[in-house]
Amino acid sequence: MVQRVGIIGAGQMGSGIAEVAAKAGSDVLVWEAKQEFADAGKARIEKSLAKGVERGKLSEEDKNAALGRLTFTTELKDFADRELVIEAIVEDEKIKKDVFAQLDKIVEDEKAALCSNTSSLPIQTIASATKNPGRVLGLHFFNPVPVLPLVEVIPALTTDSEVVQRAEGYATEALGKTAIHAKDRSGFIVNFLLVPYMLSAVRMVEQGVATKEDIDTGMKLGAAHPMGPLTLADMVGLDTCAFIADVMYKEYGEPSYACPPLLRRMVQAGHTGRKSGKGFYDYN
């Protein structure tokens, strides 16, 4: 069983993955480009674990044990001994490829799984940056990671089956996630269905078909969704939604994946949803 895990990125997704890995008993090393980002990630994890204690889902002893398994670094070279690495940085193809090219040289275990948490980019594109593409696959978690039980497993055409088994086994056996399998196509399973749904809701607002409140209420009460598509888009981040839409439109060329002008204008205005305090709804 995998014990030494590396997480690239301490943002919302990276810190969530690091938290569940530490709670599962793994030795977790988290990388960030700057110390201030690493400190922010650590604080995010500490806050989340403290909430777990408050809600009675975690003991104080287990919280402290999890924190003791976490180490933070700004040096990728520290990942040499990792058995599994999960990248969770910005959805930028160039940056991801650069990180994987470096990890390919640094991580010594030839069967170490080098995983990307990308929600939209084809895995083969990322694997092409390495000399050992057999180690690269997609392992896509969902936000918030400590709460949502799903992970998508996406092998590239070049991924070794043994590497897939190592990554999936860790996600299911150690982290307790439910795994579903997708072919290496932009959006995989969930976002292939979810993104056009959210974009359709944006177009409805843009065209004056209905108010944002009625659209969200309609999907909650009429389709039994836990939240409406516009509330969900705000939670995901409108900039992330726009980026994924662009990647998927490039891949498929279908109008349902085209980014609506309203969404692009909101991103340009800095109204990116819950994280900025303003999106389709106000959060200040």
Active-site positions?
Answer: 119, 140, 152, 191
The per-residue DSSP string of the chain comes to ---EEEEE--SHHHHHHHHHHHHTT-EEEEE-SSHHHHHHHHHHHHHHHHHHHHTTSS-HHHHHHHHHTEEEES-GGGGTT-SEEEE---S-HHHHHHHHHHHHHH---TT-EEEE--SSS-HHHHHTTSS-GGGEEEEEE-SSTTT--EEEEEE-TT--HHHHHHHHHIIIIIS-PEEEE--SSTTTTHHHHHHHHHHHHHHHHHTTSS-HHHHHHHHHHHH--SS-HHHHHHHH-HHHHHHHHHHHHHHH--GGGSPPHHHHHHHHTT--BGGGTBSSSB--
Q: Do 205 and 212 form a contact (C-beta atoms < 8 A)? A: yes
Residue with tokens 């999106």: 279
Nearest to 199 by CA among 162, 170, 236: 236
| Pairwise CA distance, residues 100 & 258, whole Å | 29
Residues 248/252/254/260 CA torsion (nearest 10 deg):
20
Nearest to 123 by CA among 156, 101, 95: 156
